[in-house]
Structure 1
Amino acid sequence: MFQTGTMKLESGKRLKGLLQVENHDLKLPVCAVCGCNEGPVVLITAGIHGAEYIGIQTARELSKELNPKELNGTIVFLLVANPQAAFSYTRLFVPEDGKNLNRAFPGKKDGSLSEKIAYTIEHELHSQADYYIDLHAGDTHEQVMPFVYYPGVAKEEVMEKSRKMAEATGMEIRVKSSATTGSYNCAAIEGVPAILMERGGGGSFTSEQLASYKRDVVNVLSALGVVSKDRGKEKNTIQNEVINAVYTDSLAEGFWHPAKQPGERFLKGELLGIVEDVWGTPLQLCHAEYDGIVLYETTAMGVREGDSLIAYGECRQLSEVAQ
């Protein structure tokens, strides 16, 4: 049975509590919902990037809406992993140390705050999970198309279970990650099947986007047997996988003008965006290396050297809705 600190969940109960960060006075809000029936422990985290609010709201609402009497197993929600950023509308970083929390895993118990949060999540939550869903979005300066990452650096069995979770979301695009950092990648390396989901951005969201994100998560929980859901009337979209991904950063300080939108498809050689100096002189032209689709891009016009501009992927042939 799931337990962290003094918080111990019992069958058929919903429990709210605070997870103490190792060697720090910060506490993270946790809600755990334990079903009446046996089943896996599913960890769902949100707010690793604090201003990606749609993930936080998805976790907050599902943690209240899911009925313990109708669950098989336990769902543990870490509602806000980076509260300092969430409450101060800070993009990407933990305000106290200026680090990207998702790059701090597996963390250090005696490190900076980001490293301590990562260490706490790994040792208190990853270690007790059978499956893991990490909820993200475009940050305050980004927009993303709905897509899902699954780990590509883990044991084959873990990667395959993760791929099936990604497929279960119902999202059009999945990306096999080659990274070894990030909360979900670290969990997978530890043996926990895991995915990272993306939807929305800009520090805001619509009711339609929120409903879609909640549906994405419930689709995965249904596939894992944690919730019961009649999906017989739903259309089955054939998911496409990104086989190559390009993450383009700015080579100079300047003004960014994207030529495509998230989810838009393009051909090899097409212009995806341009960075100009203040006089309008081109500093960087971003051309597509192959036919593909835009995963996410920076919406801020002003960029610094090293800032992310655009991410895109080469997909297996995009398919129509299955009959």
Structure 2
Amino acid sequence: MSLHIGNYQVEPGEKKNGMLEVGEHDPKLPMTLICGKEEGPTVLISAGIHGAEYIGIQTAMELSREIKPEDVKGNLIFLLVANPSAFKDFVRFTVPEDGRNLNRMFPGKEDGSLSERIAYTMVNKLYPKADYFLDIHAGDTSERVMPFLYFPGGASEDVVEASKNMAKATDMAVRARSGSLIGACGCAGAHGIPSLLLERGGGGVFTREEVELYKQDIRNILIRLKVLEGEEVHTVSQSEVNKATYIEAETEGFWYPALNAGDQFSSGALLGEIRDVWGDLKKAYYGEYDGIILYQTVGMGIKEGDPLVAYGMMEEGE
């Protein structure tokens, strides 16, 4: 069966590159469409919702070039850079045209700001085609994250379980339930699409090792979904975070994290401090329970309300 997205139609055994239109005067979004020779599920893979998260973008670009239609059962939709202006301008978190976080704008608005229009385009032009959804992120320019992923906790139980099944196909040590419905992954889950948001690395850079690990994770998922043939590769056992805490700065200043992404700590451990320009302590943050650092800000200059640390309490995975 052929695949039709926007102005593009791809027949079985074909691959096409194209640009997805948002609004008449908006940036167009680059995509690659792969229509397999045999029938199967359609998997949407997006990257670049945060434009400076280059590990995810590079992973999506390489996989879209490497995977051949004759090896696919079903269809693959690669949205290569969902936030192109942030990608070009090295902007963290937001869409430069409106200063808003695209991953907080779903399901979007047809006549809203640019971030809302991009979200609306994804929800209305891509989600209806997708049986599964993978949203590839990374630590932004000011962040470091351990390799982990979110699955949508606000979806129906069958969608949650299907999402967790995909999560277990990856070689990421931690999976975490997200209750958000305003991000791309959570919104897709609410639309009945099993989904994941994947995280790795940071600093606005990528390494060859990180990209290859990400590519293996995505291939593992596609093998589990029977879109690709092969054997899953696993070297890491996975645990689930059953509680997560997100700390935001209560004051501006200079941020000094005490731990690294992926570090485990005991209840009461120092997580980081905010100091003023003279080095005097303004605020210290401590862990409320035994946990693991999922991600944290590594940029020194912070303002009130900036994210500082996300950490979780783990239970043993299956």
CA–CA distance in 1 between the matches of 2:299 and 2:10? 44
CA–CA distance in 2 between the matches of 1:235 and 1:162? 18
CA displacement at 1:2 relative to structure 2: 2.6
CA–CA distance in 2 between the matches of 1:30 and 1:100? 21
Assess if the C-alpha contact under 8 Å between 2:170 and 2:234 holds in 1.
no
CA–CA distance in 1 between the matches of 2:62 and 2:170? 18
Assess if the C-alpha contact under 8 Å between 2:106 and 2:181 holds in 1.
no
CA–CA distance in 2 between the matches of 1:34 and 1:205? 29
Q: How does 1:27-106 map to 2 (within 5 A)?
A: 27-106=28-107
SS at match of 2:210: helix
Does 2:174 correspond to 1:173?
yes
Give the aligned partner of residue 133 of structure 2: 132
* CA RMSD between the two structures: 1.2
Does 2:261 correspond to 1:259?
no
Does 2:278 correspond to 1:307?
no
Unaligned runs of 5+ in 1: none
Letter in 1 for 2:184: S
CA displacement at 1:236 relative to structure 2: 5.2
Assess if the C-alpha contact under 8 Å between 2:238 and 2:316 holds in 1.
no
Give the aligned partner of residue 241 of structure 1: 240
Letter in 1 for 2:258: A
Q: Percent identity?
A: 51
| Deviation readout 1:274-314 (Å, 9 max, x if unpaired) | 11111222111110011111000101011000001011111
TM-score norm. by structure 1 comes to: 0.96
Relative distance call for 1:122 and 1:237 in structure 2 (3 A) is same
CA displacement at 1:235 relative to structure 2: 4.2
CA–CA distance in 2 between the matches of 1:126 and 1:163? 19
CA displacement at 1:4 relative to structure 2: 1.8
Relative distance call for 1:9 and 1:264 in structure 2 (3 A) is same
Give the aligned partner of residue 9 of structure 2: 8
Give the aligned partner of residue 284 of structure 2: 285
Unaligned runs of 5+ in 2: none
CA–CA distance in 2 between the matches of 1:318 and 1:288? 22
* Number of equivalenced pairs: 317
CA displacement at 1:230 relative to structure 2: 2.3
CA–CA distance in 2 between the matches of 1:2 and 1:169? 27
CA–CA distance in 2 between the matches of 1:236 and 1:282? 42
Assess if the C-alpha contact under 8 Å between 1:22 and 1:119 holds in 2.
no
CA–CA distance in 2 between the matches of 1:137 and 1:113? 22
Q: How does 1:269-280 map to 2 (within 5 A)?
A: 269-280=268-279
Assess if the C-alpha contact under 8 Å between 1:136 and 1:199 holds in 2.
yes
Assess if the C-alpha contact under 8 Å between 2:106 and 2:182 holds in 1.
yes
CA–CA distance in 1 between the matches of 2:245 and 2:270? 14
SS at match of 1:165: helix
CA displacement at 1:178 relative to structure 2: 1.4
SS at match of 1:87: helix
Does 2:168 correspond to 1:150?
no
CA–CA distance in 2 between the matches of 1:163 and 1:148? 10
CA displacement at 1:67 relative to structure 2: 1.1
Give the aligned partner of residue 267 of structure 2: 268
CA displacement at 1:23 relative to structure 2: 4.6
Does 2:213 correspond to 1:212?
yes
CA displacement at 1:5 relative to structure 2: 2.0
Letter in 1 for 2:216: R
SS at match of 2:271: strand
SS at match of 2:85: helix
CA–CA distance in 2 between the matches of 1:23 and 1:250? 39
TM-score norm. by structure 2 comes to: 0.97
CA displacement at 1:317 relative to structure 2: 4.2
Moved over 2 A (4+): 22-25, 234-238
